[in-house]
Amino acid sequence: MSGIFLIRPHLSAPILVAIGASIFSCHAALAGPCAKEIAQLEAAMNALAANQEGGTAHQSRDATLHRQPTSGSVVRGKEQAAADERYDRALLNRARTLDEQGDAAGCKEALTKLRRGELSR
């Protein structure tokens, strides 16, 4: 076996670390202008979705009107929450697509709408 292509054991760890760091830095360089904000909003949406599966979630505006819920209003509320989540996820995906295309203005506009809840009713 030729010794040209062998890596000495004491050098393998630093080389692997250097390769890993260069791959990570390339990935970070390829991330779009809104990548960090998208990740934060996606994490928040995932946390909210996990809470809803467990039976607890944030209190809706309608819940603050001091009315007793009926079985019909609970069903409608769950359906509306599911529709809102689908819409918000679609908007987040739109922001991600714009981010990948390097469209910072479009991405930030989509994220602003998502934060304000303009599109989820």
* The pLDDT value given to residue 29: 43
In a domain, 99, yes or no: yes
* The pLDDT value given to residue 121: 46
Which amino acid, residue 57?
A
In a domain, 79, yes or no: yes
Range of the domain at 94: 33-54+69-116
Which amino acid, residue 95?
A
In a domain, 42, yes or no: yes
- Smallest CA-to-CA distance from 57 within 81, 41, 80, 26 is with 81
In a domain, 48, yes or no: yes
Sign of CA dihedral 68, 78, 113, 44: positive
Burial of 107 (0-12, 13-18, 19+ CB in 10 A): buried
Looking at the 3D structure of the chain, how many domains does it have?
1
Say if residues 92 and 40 touch (Cβ distance below 8 Å). Answer: no
In a domain, 5, yes or no: no
CB burial readout 81-103, b (16+ within 10 A) else e = beeeeeebeebbebbbebbeeeb
Residue ranges in the chain modelled with pLDDT below 70: 1-30, 52-63, 118-121
The pair of structure tokens assigned to 79 is 């359906």
* The pLDDT value given to residue 97: 96
